[in-house]
């Protein structure tokens, strides 16, 4: 379903690219952390053509090619807006797993 939606968005750009090429190009994206003069940076590779087209079709923006690295202790964590009660509403009450004909099935109980 997502694959089809992406293919439709690419078609609106009047382009054609194979799913295999998109996946291969996305897998080729890399990030490397470097340190120079006591400063740390993250350097991202340039996306290949199929990945670039797929990313553009989804409207997602890649991070800058070079950006400062942020240390874990510099990250400020805010409070989560989801309360435990809200999380319980989102979770599915699954009682048991059964194995049948080589496939795992989940049984949802109400």
Is the distance from CB of 45 to CB of 30 less than 8 angstroms? yes
For residue 8, what pLDDT is reported? 87
pTM here is 0.57
| Residue whose pair of structure tokens reads 């309360």 in the numeric block | 83
Dihedral sign (CA 46, 16, 10, 18): negative
| Residue whose pair of structure tokens reads 């049984």 in the numeric block | 107
Which residues make Cβ contacts (< 8 Å) with residue 53, sequence separation at least 6? Answer: 10, 13, 15, 17, 22
Low-confidence ranges of the chain (pLDDT < 70): 71-110
């Amino acid at each position: 379903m997502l694959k089809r939606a992406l293919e439709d968005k690419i078609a609106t750009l009047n382009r054609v690219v194979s799913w295999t090429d998109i996946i291969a190009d996305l897998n080729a994206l890399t990030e490397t952390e470097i340190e120079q003069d006591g400063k740390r940076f993250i350097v991202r590779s340039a996306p290949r053509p199929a990945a670039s087209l797929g990313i553009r079709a989804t409207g997602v923006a890649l991070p800058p090619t070079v950006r400062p690295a942020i240390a874990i202790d510099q990250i400020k964590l805010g409070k989560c807006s989801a309360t435990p009660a809200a999380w319980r509403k989102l979770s599915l009450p699954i009682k048991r797993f059964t194995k049948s004909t080589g496939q795992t099935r989940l049984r949802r109980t109400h």
